Amino acid sequence: MSSTAGQVIKCKAAVAWEAGKPLVIEEVEVAPPQKMEVRLKILFTSLCHTDVYFWEAKAQDSVFPRILGHEAAGEYTVVHAGSVAKINPLAPLDKVCVLSCGISTGLGATLNVAKPKKGSSVAIFGLGAVGLAAAEGARLAGASRVIGVDLNPSRFEEAKRFGVTEFVNPKDHSKPVQEVIAEMTDGGVDSSVECTGNVDAMISAFECVHDGWGVAVLVGVPHKDAIFKTPPMNFLNERTLKGTFFGNYKPRSDLPSVVEMYMNKELEVEKFITHEVPFAEINKAFELMLKGEGLRCIIRME
C-alpha cells in the first residue's frame, strides 16, 4: 500500500483548453481510486489518432477543457480495474506501450476478425501504424499477397518492411480502386482491412473483396456524420462486412498474450516506433501525428 493511498495527489497533465490549440502542461488533482478502480503511474505512453480526434473536436463528446484520452492522460490516471492488464514484468515498457492501442487494433483486425487463410490475398487500406499492424497480421497469418492501398506514395517504401507485397494508389487510376483490385486478383481479394477512417475507403474495402467468401473489416474511426453506402446486392452476393474495436482483443485477458508475441520475437514492435519525446514536448508528438510523419511517437514521463 503506497503512502498516497486514499489521498488526492497532484501531478502534471497536458490539458487541451480549446480544439486544435497546443496542450498546456498544468498541475491537476487526481482523485483516489474508488471501489473497483486503480490509480496508475504512467511511465511511457504513445499518442494515437483517437487523441488527435478528440483534440480536433471530431468526436461526439468533445468538451473542453479536457485531458485527452486515452494515451495522452496525465503522470497519473485512475481507471476501472477491468481496464488494467498485467503483462510480463520483463517486457520493456518503452516498447510495449504501443500495444495498448493502434498496433493491437490493426494486428487483431487481421488475426482475429479477417482471419486470412495461409496463401490468401489481403488488401490493406491505409498504411499508417494501424494499417501496417494489419499487414503484420497478414504476414503472420501467411497471406501470400498483401496489397497496400494509400493515397500517399511515401508510405509504400516503409510498408515493404511490414509484409506488404503490392501497392495501389487510388490517385493513379481513373476507375474506382475496388475495380483496380478486382482486376489484379481475378475478381477480388479474399479479405480486406480498412485502416483510414475515410468512409470512401471503407466502401472500397468492402467492394474489393471477392463475392462468395470475401470478408472486409472496418477499423478506422469515421467522422461522426459519415454514412456508409453500398448496393445491397453486394451482401446478397455473399460478401461479409465486419467491424472491430481494438482488434477484438479483450484488453485485460488478451493483451498479455500480445506482449508475449513480442517477447517471443514473432511480432516486431520496434519498427512501429519512429520518435520519442519527453512529456514536456507532447505538442511535438501531436505535430508529428498531424503531419503524418513517422508511425508512433513514444512520450517519456520525466
Closest CA to 123 of 234, 202, 48, 233: 202
| Nearest-approach distance from CB 267 to ligand APR, in angstroms | 17
Q: Which is closer to ligand APR, CB of 22 or CB of 222?
A: 222
221 binds, among ligand APR, Zn ion, none (CB under 5 to 8 A by kind): ligand APR
Closest CA to 17 of 59, 53, 67, 51: 67
| Nearest-approach distance from CB 149 to ligand APR, in angstroms | 5
Q: Which is closer to ligand APR, CB of 126 or CB of 137?
A: 126
130 binds, among Zn ion, ligand APR, none (CB under 5 to 8 A by kind): ligand APR
| Nearest-approach distance from CB 47 to Zn ion, in angstroms | 8
Q: 35: which DSSP letter?
A: T
| Residue, CB closest to ligand APR | 128
CB 260 within 8 A of CB 99: no
Burial of 6 by CB count in 10 Å (0-12 exposed, 13-18 middle, 19+ buried)?
A: exposed
- Residue 18: all three cell numbers together: 480549446
From 158, 200, 254, 276, residue interacting with ligand APR (rule: CB under 6 A): 200
From 103, 195, 273, 298, residue interacting with ligand APR (rule: CB under 6 A): 195
| x-marked contacts with ligand APR along 236-255 as a string, rule CB under 6 A | --------------------
Residues 47-76 that bind ligand APR (CB under 6 A): 48-50, 53
Compute the Cα dihedral for 42, 302, 268, 264 and give only its sign.
negative
Q: Which is closer to Zn ion, CB of 45 or CB of 121?
A: 45
Cα 296 to Cα 53: distance, rounded to the nearest angstrom: 15
Measured at the CA of 211, the angle between CA 139 and CA 244, to 5 degrees, comes to: 50
CB 119 within 8 A of CB 189: no
Radius of gyration of the chain (CA): 20
Phi, psi of 258 (to 5 degrees): -70, -40
Count of helix runs (H) and strand runs (E) in the chain: 10, 14
| Nearest-approach distance from CB 246 to Zn ion, in angstroms | 9
Residues 100-159 that bind ligand APR (CB under 6 A): 102, 105, 125-131, 149-152, 155
CB 67 within 8 A of CB 27: no
- Binding segment toward Zn ion, per CB under 5 A, in 47-55, 113-121, 223-231, 264-272: 47-55
- Binding segment toward Zn ion, per CB under 5 A, in 21-29, 95-103, 157-165, 215-223: 95-103
From 42, 48, 147, 297, residue interacting with Zn ion (rule: CB under 5 A): 48
From 42, 96, 101, 180, residue interacting with Zn ion (rule: CB under 5 A): 101
Name the site residues for Zn ion (rule: CB under 5 A): 48, 50, 101
